[in-house]
Amino acid sequence: MSFLAIEHAVKQFGGLRAVDDVSFSLKRGEIVGLLGPNGSGKTTLINLISGALPASAGTITLNGQQLTGLRRDKIARCGVARTFQLVRILPSLTLIENVKIPAVFGHKAHWGAAAERVAKDALAMVGLSERATMSAGDLTYIDQKRLELARALAAEPELLLLDEWLAGLNPTELEEGIKLISELRDSGLTILMVEHIIDAVRALCPRVVVMNSGKLIADEQTDKALTDPAVVTAYLGEDVDA
């Protein structure tokens, strides 16, 4: 049985189908890249999985449990956590306070000392443990992204949704980010990642699914997909044979 199953997912905004009859699945422990040009529907699909938006049609299930129609807090309790294209942290709180919140309200609902331990472990994973008591509003943009990932990890998800988390990193930070995601993958975490940095996709994802204009246009091994004429045309906006 598929761990994450997306079946005929649709999201309609008026006359626009941002997600148009999309179906694919992930096995437990798999890491899959979600690719496509800007405006192809990738983030909208992530929003459907996480409950940030309700689906117009179709079903999404995680480990046999239907997520479609659940509130986002209920979906978080089911074991789904995510990062965002635009960083969402609580700048008036310390780093440890930011990370304790998902430890309390995430998949396993820790309290007290247990929540503190989970939060500290998450900060350590992203290299922020020494700054646990500083204000989140004083972080650089890159470290805000690290904090956001720590918040997602503190929810102890079974499915992690990464929405361009590697964007904006310098080459050294990118190398560290790829290493961190590979460690998460190797720990058995199931990951669906939206990403435009193709070197990172090649390094991390044996398989990709590709969207264009709301539709799924490829679901195949990464190297094959990146030379698929339909995928190349979607990215370049022209016929590759022209």
In a domain, 190, yes or no: yes
Share of the chain above pLDDT 90, in %: 76
Is the same domain home to 32 and 3?
A: yes
154 CB contacts (<8 Å, ≥6 apart)? 99, 100, 102, 103, 106, 118, 119, 121, 122
Is the same domain home to 96 and 176?
A: no
* Domain closes at, from 156, 171, 205: 156
In a domain, 111, yes or no: yes
pLDDT one-digit tens code per residue, 174-192: 998 999 999 999 999 999 9
Share of the chain above pLDDT 70, in %: 97
* Domain closes at, from 104, 121, 156: 156
- Among 49-53, 103-107, 120-124, which stretch is predicted with the lowest mean pLDDT? 103-107
Is the same domain home to 72 and 3?
A: yes
- The confidence score (pLDDT) of residue 236 equals 65
In a domain, 34, yes or no: yes
Is the same domain home to 147 and 174?
A: no
Q: Is the model's pLDDT at 242 over the cut of 80?
A: no
- Among 11-25, 79-93, 99-113, 143-157, which stretch is predicted with the lowest mean pLDDT? 99-113
Structure tokens at 135: 């204000």
Is the same domain home to 165 and 232?
A: yes
**Do 226 and 200 form a contact (C-beta atoms < 8 A)?**
no
Is the same domain home to 168 and 117?
A: no
176 CB contacts (<8 Å, ≥6 apart)? 127, 169
In a domain, 27, yes or no: yes
In a domain, 103, yes or no: yes
pLDDT one-digit tens code per residue, 202-225: 999 999 999 999 999 999 999 999
In a domain, 38, yes or no: yes
Is the same domain home to 16 and 56?
A: yes
Q: Is the model's pLDDT at 228 over the cut of 80?
A: yes
Q: Is the model's pLDDT at 240 over the cut of 60?
A: no
CATH number, domain containing residue 178: 3.40.50.300
* Domain closes at, from 110, 137, 156: 156
- The confidence score (pLDDT) of residue 151 equals 94
Is the same domain home to 62 and 167?
A: yes
Q: How many domains does the chain have?
A: 2
Is the same domain home to 166 and 242?
A: yes
Structure tokens at 134: 């500083």
Q: Collapsing DSSP states into helix, strand and coil, what is residue 118?
A: helix
pLDDT one-digit tens code per residue, 59-76: 999 999 999 999 999 999
- The confidence score (pLDDT) of residue 63 equals 94
User: Rounded distance, CA 126 to CA 82, Å?
Assistant: 15
Range of the domain at 111: 92-156
